[in-house]
Each structure stands twice: as C-alpha cells, then as structure tokens.
C-alpha cells in the first residue's frame, strides 16, 4: 500500500481548478478533479503494521484550523542542463505559517514513527497536469494566461492519510483517515 498525507480540497475549489484544465498543451495529462490534493508528506510503500504506526503518530497531533489561498500557476522541471522540459503544471499556495507549522509537525511525528526524513523541501502546490515533452512555449503561454488565478480563502479543518493504487488510466486515491484540526 502506498501512502501519503495531504489536504483534501473542497469541491468548489476543485471545480475552479478543473476549469483551468483543458487543451492547449500537447503532451499534458490533466489530473482529474477527484485527485486534486495538497501533499503534506509522501510516505510511499507501507506494510499494514507500518500503516498502523503512521496512523497512531498522526492521530496524536494537535493543531488549529486555518485558511489557505491558492494562487498563481507554475511548473516543475527536470532540472539539469538548460532546455530540459517541464514535468508538471501546478497551482501554488500563498505563504502561510500555519500550513508550514502543520507540515513540520507531521514530518516530526512520522520521523518519530520510524520514517526516514523527507529530503525534498516542502513546496505546497496542487498538481493540475503532468507534462510529457510538452512544448515549452505552449506551457509558458498557458502559465502566463492563467497566472492571476486566486481562490477565496479555503478553510482547512482537517488533514488526511490517503492510500494510492495504480489504476488503468491514473492513480486512484482513497481517503483512509481524517485527522481533525481544532
């Protein structure tokens, strides 16, 4: 079982994000709205025993709810030599100390449960599309055309432990446990 901790998004926001998706970028594989989420910590493969330890660690966390504003579009690229292509298109999140604090608490709890530290820097985002050799000019034009995207404040009242299973077309994400924020 593959696991990750994320913020589940309300359908009103998913619908707004889905309205951004569409044609215009050859090679883009658009993420279906039911799979939109903001990953707080990718865990990966976990045995049932390890999943139980993870659940106990997360259930012990206490935190307050907060609001997030989703804003702007961007891309992640393969890095390396100039000219490498973009790999994913995302919508970002306005800087938020409460989000950073929650993510840090989750990271600490998971390390105490025996997981290795996350090596990547936390970069909060929602993936809209995976890009496979998409023309950079088309990607740049799309980002420029939609970069003023801004959501209303979205209340965050819980975080979720998800499982991920590979499907025929895309991964299938299942909310396993929700952890309330006061």
Q: Which residues are catalytic?
A: 37, 125
Rounded Cα–Cα distance for residues 121 and 10 (Å): 25
β-partners of residue 41 are 5
Rounded Cα–Cα distance for residues 57 and 161 (Å): 11
94 and 71 in contact (C-beta within 8 Å)? Answer: yes
Rounded Cα–Cα distance for residues 70 and 155 (Å): 11
154 and 9 in contact (C-beta within 8 Å)? Answer: yes
**DSSP code of 85?**
P
**DSSP code of 22?**
S
Rounded Cα–Cα distance for residues 23 and 130 (Å): 13
Residue-wise over 95-114: b if at least 16 C-beta within 10 A, else e?
A: ebeebeebbebbbebbeebe
């Amino acid at each position: 079982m593959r696991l990750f901790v994320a913020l589940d998004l309300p359908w009103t926001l998913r619908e707004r994000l889905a309205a951004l998706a569409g044609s215009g970028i050859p090679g883009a594989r658009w993420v279906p709205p039911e799979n939109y989420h903001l990953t707080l910590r990718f865990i990966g493969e976990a045995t049932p025993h390890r999943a139980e330890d993870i659940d106990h660690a997360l259930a012990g966390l206490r935190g307050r709810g907060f609001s997030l504003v989703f804003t702007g579009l961007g891309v992640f690229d393969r890095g390396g030599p100039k000219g490498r292509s973009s790999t994913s298109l995302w919508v970002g999140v306005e800087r938020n100390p409460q989000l950073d604090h929650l993510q840090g608490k989750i990271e600490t709890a998971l390390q105490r449960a025996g997981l290795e530290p996350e090596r990547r820097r936390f970069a909060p985002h929602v993936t809209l599309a995976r890009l496979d050799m998409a023309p950079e000019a088309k990607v740049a034009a799309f980002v420029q055309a939609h970069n003023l995207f801004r959501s209303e404040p979205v209340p965050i009242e819980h975080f979720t432990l998800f499982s991920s299973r590979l499907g025929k077309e895309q991964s299938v994400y299942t909310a396993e446990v929700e952890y309330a924020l006061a």
